[in-house]
Structure 1
Amino acid sequence: MNRQQREELLAQRHGLIEDVEQARAALPAHSVRPWQWQRVEDAEEALAELDRKLEELEKD
């Protein structure tokens, strides 16, 4: 993996972390709707997938 690819993936990772934080912050204290939880889960899954990709690329 070259430096530019790594920097791009890390920038994406930073954006995904912000997405997760925003999705969690938007959850109401009570009566969370399914679509609200889905937003959090989708953001967390995207972050986990990117982390796996970064880990694999750094092995090479």
Structure 2
Amino acid sequence: MLKAGDSWLEFWKTSEGMPEMTMLQLIVDDADGYAQFVKSNGVEVQGPMIEHGEKMY
């Protein structure tokens, strides 16, 4: 996991019930608006999910 300001880049290895993946966590004020913006630029986005009282994509 690499910290960049308040954002994170995570590299996950395969484990039970979890495939290998890279996860980019960007801290933004408007998760829905940002998700729509990146989708419109061809980025695959999963979500939304609510975890720990925060909306995540």
Structure number with greater Rg is 1
- What TM-score, normalized to structure 2? 0.31
Structure with the largest fraction of helix: 1
Structure with the largest fraction of strand: 2
